[in-house]
Chains A and B, each alone.
Chain A
Amino acid sequence: MNDPSTQPRRPRVLLIEDEPNIATAIVFLLQREGWQVSTHSDGVTALDAVARHAPDVVVLDVMLPGRSGFDILAALRGGERADLPVLMLTAKGQTKDRERAAALGVNRFMTKPFANRELIDAVRALLAEAPA
């Protein structure tokens, strides 16, 4: 039997997305890459989920119930996990949203609908950038 302590830790991705069907597809895609994926669907308690799951990367939807992805990103950048890589997903691809996300310190910004490969590549790049 393998000793878990000797195996490399699987990268952890936290997906914060309230739309269950897109979450299902994203979870499948990310798990298939061998990453450990957790999901959370509520904006108000999203920061608690970050603290609980201690992810290496957060995939964050903009439109969430209770609290927007922008607010969550701003709170993250002002908190203990200020350097946590964040990929924002949104169906609102307007320039002002990109600019707002950039101003708040987002690492990647992706608009829906996206290609699966594009999403996986973006998360992989962010995992590579993630602080050890």
Chain B
Amino acid sequence: MPRPANTGSRIRERRIALGRKQVAVAEAAGISPSYLNLIEHDRRAIGGRLLLRLAAALDAEPAALSGEGDSTLAQAVAAAGAAQGLDPQADADAFARTNPEWARMVAAQAETIAAQARTIDALSDRLTHDPSLAEAMHELLSTVSVVRSTAAILAQTPEIDANWLRRFHANLDQDSRRLAQGAEAVVALFDRQAARGDRPLLAVEGAARFLDATGHRFEALERDGAATIPMLTAEIADPSVQTLVAATLRADAADAERLPRHLVEAANGPDDLLGAARGDMALVLRRLGLVDPGRGLVICDAAGAVLRRKPVAGFPLPLVGAGCPLWTIYTALAQPGRPLSERLETPDGAIWRAHSVALPETPATFDAPPVLRATMLLTRADRTGTGPAGNRVAVGPGCRTCPRAECPARREPSILSFDT
């Protein structure tokens, strides 16, 4: 069973208290430093055996790291009782002491109830005031409208001209897909808002929304370079979002100068561009991902935090936060410098080719490890030719919105409807 979300914080605190480096603890526990970093930031849930190894490496009791020995259990039970109108002092200590499992469940349920209440409040407010949610719902309802009207026409009209029939069938096919994507988008939006509560939007989310709205394509930037950035970002009201987008576009402009679009558009795949990019595979993947509307792109740092994501139809990507731990991009982080190519299968059964590479952003010195950045290019497998059949990795968009109930890499429950 995955440990509570703050297990990583306890591990980090313990390691720092011992004055030990991540590298040393990771080595003692038999994992990579980057993976330990993810654990310490609660970006990876850890199972029993790994917890035991880390506890041994840190000379600590596993329960102390997992929080199961937390002395605040009685207070949590008392608070849960108080929320239900009980006397806060009424036997909470004795209950927690004599029935610790039940006490933990009561505390956890109280926490869940409180979190759900906050979520409901936040969502109710957002439904009224959040333009993103309103837009997502508008899209969804518009698509439902098409499906409903078209289906009714087909069902209730005995004879329809063949041309109309073809159009209606095509529209139904198109809109049923759109409906599924719209539903996913709304679920993801609810997810983000639930996670965010009442806090304001993050700049990174605002930047991602802006870039998504443009399809990550800027003709002026390709044609005239970084000089066009003030014009391209002028409409962004939030200064922090504007700054973030401008920085992203500066990097894009530098990439475009190094690997011009006409070369990218003429290429069939990454290998075709490696020479023109002077061996910089990350540059090749970035340019292919951004220039070709049919490809997706993810860039993350060594902690797994997504720095840039360009979604592509059929492969949804979380707006903020980490993605699926089984994505090739995270495998690449463990093998810096080595380009990887894997077949990924999304929950809808579609097969994708993922090209990934992790490369240093800064030179390695004796005093500091290089700063790694990993890049993943996503291409529908049917566009890359048949190729070797090989294995495929079952991946998802990220745990929170992934329907794979039995995934061994799951770090948190999905908000989609299945029992976990």
B 157-180 binary contact with A (CB < 8 Å = 1; else 0): 100000010011001001100000
Contact A91 B138 (CB under 8 A): yes
Q: Which of B145, B150, B157 contacts A112 (CB 8 A)?
A: B145
B167 x A112 contact (CB < 8 A): no
Contact A25 B138, beta carbon cutoff 8 Å: no
CA distance A19 to B146 in the complex (A): 9
Residue B18 CB within 8 A of the other chain? no
Q: Is B145 in contact with A113, judged by CB distance below 8 angstroms?
A: yes
CB closest chain-B residue, reference A113: B145
Q: Tell whether B213 is near chain A: CB-to-CB under 8 Å.
A: no
Q: Check A22 against B153 for contact (C-beta < 8 Å).
A: no
Q: Are A21 and B138 in contact (CB under 8 A)?
A: no
- Is B145 touching A22 in the complex (CB atoms < 8 A)? yes
Name which residue of chain A comes closest to B147, CB basis. Answer: A113
Check if B183 is an interface residue, CB within 8 A of chain A. no
The answer to the question of B240 belonging to the interface, with a C-beta cut-off of 8 Å to chain A, is no
What residues on B are CB-neighbors of A28 within 8 Å? 153, 164, 168
B137, B150, B156, B174: the one within 8 Å of A25 (CB): B150
A113 near B138 (CB under 8 angstroms)? no
Within B128-156, the residues touching A (CB, 8 Å) are: 134, 137-142, 144-150, 152-153, 156
Establish whether residues A112 and B153, one from each chain, have CB atoms under 8 Å apart when the complex forms.
no
With the chains together, A21 CA to B179 CA distance in Å? 13
| A63, A111, A116 interface centre (most CB from chain B within 10 Å) | A116
The complex places the Cα of A25 from the Cα of B175 at a distance, in Å, of 12
Which positions 80-102 of chain A face chain B at CB distance < 8 Å? Answer: 91-92
Closest beta carbon of chain B to A72's beta carbon, Å: 17
Number of B residues, CB within 8 Å of A = 24
Closest B residue by C-beta to A114: B145
Considering the chains assembled together, what is the distance between the CA atoms of A114 and B152 in angstroms?
11
* Complex contacts, B174 vs chain A, CB 8 Å: 21
Query: What is the CA–CA distance of A91 and B152 in the complex, to the nearest angstrom?
Result: 18
Docked complex: A1-57 residues within 8 A CB-CB of B: 19, 21-22, 24-26, 28-29, 32
Please state if B141 and A21 are interface contacts (CB–CB under 8 Å): no
B213 to nearest A CB, angstroms? 13
How far is A73 from B415 in the complex, measured between Cα atoms in Å? 41
In the assembled complex, the Cα of A129 lies from the Cα of B171 at a distance in Å of 33
- Decide: B153 and A25 in contact? CB cutoff 8 A: yes
Q: Mark A106-132, 1 if CB is under 8 A from B, else 0.
A: 000001111110010000000000000
Q: Does A25 contact B134, Cβ atoms closer than 8 Å?
A: no
Cα separation A25 to B147 with both chains bound (whole Å): 9
Interchain CB contact (< 8 A) of A91 among B141, B157, B171: B141
Report B-chain residues with C-beta under 8 Å of the C-beta of A21: 146, 150, 171, 174-175
Question: Taking A25-B171, A28-B164, A92-B134 as contacts, is the C-beta distance between A19 and B153 under 8 angstroms?
Answer: no
Asked whether, in the complex, the Cβ of B141 is within 8 Å of the Cβ of A112, the reply is yes
Chain B residue with Cβ nearest A89: B145
Residue in A32, A63, A92, A113 whose CB lies within 8 Å of B149: A113
Known A-B contacts A24-B171, A112-B144; the reply to A63 vs B153 at CB < 8 A is no
Q: State A21–B140 Cα separation when bound (angstroms).
A: 14
Q: Are A26 and B149 in contact (CB under 8 A)?
A: yes
Once bound together, how far apart are the Cα atoms of A72 and B408, in whole Å? 55
CA of A57 to CA of B142, assembled, Å = 22
Distance of A25 Cα from B174 Cα, bound (Å):
14
Find residues 91-150 in chain B having any chain A CB closer than 8 Å to their own CB. Answer: 134, 137-142, 144-150
24 A-B residue pairs with CB within 8 Å: A19-B142, A19-B146, A21-B146, A21-B175, A22-B142, A22-B146, A24-B167, A24-B168, A25-B150, A28-B153, A28-B168, A29-B149, A91-B137, A91-B141, A92-B138, A111-B141, A112-B142, A113-B145, A114-B145, A115-B148, A115-B152, A116-B153, A116-B156, A119-B149
